[in-house]
């Protein structure tokens, strides 16, 4: 297993690259959590088998795609992430 964390403002992106069954590459996963001023974490997004279990050749490629997906979620769904009411 390979992991990487990245802070994006009030959020932390957790990326993982897990070896696929039978050693055929790596499957990516991503979790996005909001970090409160009290350092509590509240999960706002999770995808543990990105792109239906697509396999990348290296763990670095899988991690890069997981971080990219986490950043896209934050960019594309700002109201959901901020818990907007309007």
* pLDDT given at position 86: 43
CA distances from 62 to 1, 39, 54 (A): 11, 28, 9
The answer to the question of residue 56 being in a domain is yes
Mean pLDDT to the nearest integer, 63-85: 80
pLDDT over 90 (residue 77): no
The answer to the question of residue 85 being in a domain is no
The answer to the question of residue 86 being in a domain is no
* pLDDT given at position 39: 78
Range of the domain at 55: 2-77
Q: For 28-70, what is each residue's pLDDT tens digit? A: 999 999 988 887 889 999 998 888 888 999 999 999 999 999 9
State the pTM of this model.
0.83
Q: Domain total for the chain?
A: 1
The token pair that represents 80 in the structure block: 């959901």
The answer to the question of residue 38 being in a domain is yes
pLDDT over 70 (residue 4): yes
The answer to the question of residue 83 being in a domain is no
The answer to the question of residue 84 being in a domain is no
The answer to the question of residue 40 being in a domain is yes
The answer to the question of residue 82 being in a domain is no
Which are the contacts of 51, defined by CB distance < 8 A and separation ≥ 6? 28, 65
């Amino acid at each position: 297993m390979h992991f990487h964390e990245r802070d994006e403002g009030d959020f932390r992106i957790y990326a993982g690259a897990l070896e696929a069954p039978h050693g055929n590459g790596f499957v990516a996963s991503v979790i996005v959590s909001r970090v409160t001023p009290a350092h509590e974490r509240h999960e706002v997004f999770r995808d543990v088998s990105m792109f239906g279990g697509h396999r990348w050749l290296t763990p670095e490629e899988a991690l890069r795609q997981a971080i990219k997906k986490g950043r896209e979620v934050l960019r594309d769904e700002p109201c959901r992430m901020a818990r907007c009411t309007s």
